[in-house]
Structure 1
Amino acid sequence: MARAVTTRRKALLTVIGWTVGFLVFFPILWTVLTSFKTEGEAIANPPSFLAFDWTTENYTEVQHRSDYFLHMMNSVVISFGSTALGLLFAVPAAWAMAFAPGKRTKDILMWMLSTKMMPAVGVLVPLYILFRDSGLLDTRVGLVGVLTLIDLPLIVWMLYTYFREIPGEILEAARMDGASLGKEIVFVLAPMAVPGIASTTLLNIILSWNEAFWTLNLTTSNAAPLTAFIASYSSPEGLFWAKLSAASTLAIAPILVLGWFSQRQLVRGLTFGAVK
């Protein structure tokens, strides 16, 4: 029997939800507002929220100083490329662990997850030397490969949990009808797991888009994504908050728009299999 929710409780939960949402979104809102201020107004104390002279000169100067569209294209190629390559390896791996598990499946999953716990700086020097000697330094191909390997354990784990919710009898029926392993994964498993695959894809794109450690250390100019674009506004002379905010706004705008239009699919994927 469903438990009745009083109007007062519903109103209280609504207020709490909006409050938490505003607190989470406030840093982004403040960054956007700061991007329209002058440098003097950006560091004014006390700060002004809306009562300031709005200007777009920061965006103009940012574009003149840096090639924003080059950095954005690098971010698009690196994030989407690493996600597509990761899914290419992760879908068969997750299928094998979910529908043909062995005695050590859980141990393998934990071993894969343990690689995410290693400090990235621990392998920076050997990986940098490897990239330098192989010609992959400051290339999109190199960054796509690194980010694929970094996010692959997370992709496999997420897809594994989604695939486990799909009845194995459906795949057995497809095999009895003569479906090969490839057709079983592409035409039977993948369509049934669309919400899970979509949410995994979106989450991995966001993680790759925001990756800063490897992109800052393995690029200089040619393959530098938007994270390097933002970092370039930190100088020995200090931080120029207004221009830094403009650069940050330009960097988060594409992924923010993508997340906004994909939020329904993301929520569907994250709740996939929660209710039976």
Structure 2
Amino acid sequence: MKILKKIATTVSAWAVALSLSLPILWMALTAFKTDLDALHLPPKIFFRPTLENFLAANGSVPVLRPILNSVVESSGATALCFLFAFPAAYALAFHGGRSRNTILLGMLMTRFMPGIGVMLPMYLIFKVIGLIDTRLGLVLVLALVNLPIVVWMLYCYMREIPRDILESARLDGATAVQQLVHVLFPLCLPGVCSTALLSVVLCWNESFWSIQMTSSTAAPLSAYIATLSGDVLWAKLSAASLLAVGPILLVGWLTQRTFVRGLTFGAVR
């Protein structure tokens, strides 16, 4: 009975995984087809693969620029976000006082606010200071949008660190900066890594602010793919989509142990 139950569980798990993977697999196949093969009915399983869709997914604009923009803007926004989120989480975890929960809840509520509600004033402000369609402008927006989530996650990891460790470091003469860099950071490194991965994924997948704040020069892949959705260029759209999800899938596969370790950090005492 146990063997049958184990087999049924395994088969069910594979069936669910396969059903979830089929759209990605079909998109990967379509990315290597020509436009005619992609529109062929019935769909072609065997075809002559081509790489032209990856070289110019829009026929005139290279796809390498949106890829570079996505890498620069996602990593830059994550780094900028951590620059403010790490000290903020430290202050809330160890010096928050009675207003700690109010501050955390207020920050988290701003993350749930519809972006369209603040899009117009932010657009006007960025237009006045000349940051529309620039990498720096989108980095600032993405860092601001994801800051509450990053602060909340880092706070959850830091509150699992015993306060006595920091007290011992303080008695040894360590300053607040030294406590952050040399004591607290190594202790919650798994949580920092998982939070950084999540922040990169959120920045990489962000489409609303990318479309609103960029047009061509600083447009990441999420905004670039939106320009292809109006035409029936399924092969080029699939190629651009594969380039968008491929790096995230690869990073997730390579760092899955670190990510799971970070998510379960502090769960077992």
TM-score of the aligned structures, taking structure 2 as reference length: 0.93
How big is the shift at 1:64? Answer: 5.4
> Is residue 97–residue 160 contact of structure 1 (8 Å, CA) maintained in 2?
yes
1:195-274, aligned counterparts within 5 Å?
A: 195-235=190-230, 238-274=231-267
1:44 CA displacement: 3.8
> Which amino acid letter does the alignment assign opposite residue 157 of structure 2?
Y
2:261 partner letter: R
CA distance, structure 2, for counterparts of residue 226 and residue 212 of structure 1: 9
Partner of 2:135: 140
Q: Retained in 1: the 8 A contact 2:73–2:139? A: yes
Per the TM alignment, residue 165 of structure 1 is displaced from its structure 2 partner at its CA by 1.4
Aligned length: 269
The one of 57, 65, 71 equivalent to 1:70 is 65
8 Å CA contact retained: 2:92, 2:155: yes
Q: Contact 1:66–1:229 at 8 Å: present in 2 too?
A: no
Note the C-alpha offset of 1:242.
Answer: 1.2
C-alpha separation between the residues in 1 aligned to 2:54 and 2:77? 29
**Contact 1:233 1:240 (C-alpha < 8 Å) held by counterparts:** yes
Q: Name structure 2 gaps, 5 residues minimum.
A: none
Q: What CA distance in whole angstroms lies between the structure 2 residues aligned with 1:182 and 1:17?
A: 47
- Answer whether contact 2:58 2:236 (CA < 8 A) is retained: no
Percent identical: 50
Counterparts of 2:220 and 2:173, CA distance in 1: 46
Q: CA deviation at 1:87?
A: 0.7
- Cα distance in 2 for residues equivalent to 1:56 and 1:87: 38
Aligned partners of 1:179, 1:218: CA distance in 2, in Å?
43
Structure 1 unaligned spans of 5+:
none
2:5 maps to a residue whose letter is R
Contact 1:166 1:192 in 2 (8 A): yes
Q: Deviations over 1:189-217 (max 9, x none)?
A: 00010100000000100110111111111
Whether contact under 8 Å (1:212, 1:227) holds in the other structure is yes
TM-align CA RMSD: 1.9
- Alignment check: 8 A CA contact 2:57 2:236 kept: yes
User: Is the counterpart of residue 159 in structure 1 residue 185 in structure 2?
Assistant: no
Corresponding residue to 1:20 among 16, 21, 35: 16
Q: Choose from 37, 40, 49 the match for 2:36.
A: 40
Question: Are residue 102 (structure 1) and residue 97 (structure 2) matched?
Answer: yes
Which deviations, in whole Å up to 9, do the C-alpha atoms of 1:101-137 show, x marking residues without a partner? 2111111111111011111011111111111111011
Of 55, 75, 80 in structure 2, the residue corresponding to residue 80 of structure 1 is 75
Structure 1, residues 36-92: CA drift from partner, whole Å, max 9, x if none? 2233332344434x3344333323442852222221121111111110111111111
Offset of residue 224 of structure 1: 1.1
SS in 2 for 1:112: helix
Looking at structure 2, the residues matched to 20 and 100 of structure 1 have their Cα atoms a distance apart, in angstroms, of: 46
What is the TM-score with the length of structure 1 in the denominator? 0.91
Distance in 1 of aligned mates of 2:235 and 2:173: 62
Q: Partner amino acid for 1:222? A: T
Cross-structure match for 1:119: 114
Aligned in 2, Cα 1:251/1:123: closer, same or farther, shift over 3 Å? same
| Cα pair distance change 1:170/1:13, threshold 3 Å | farther
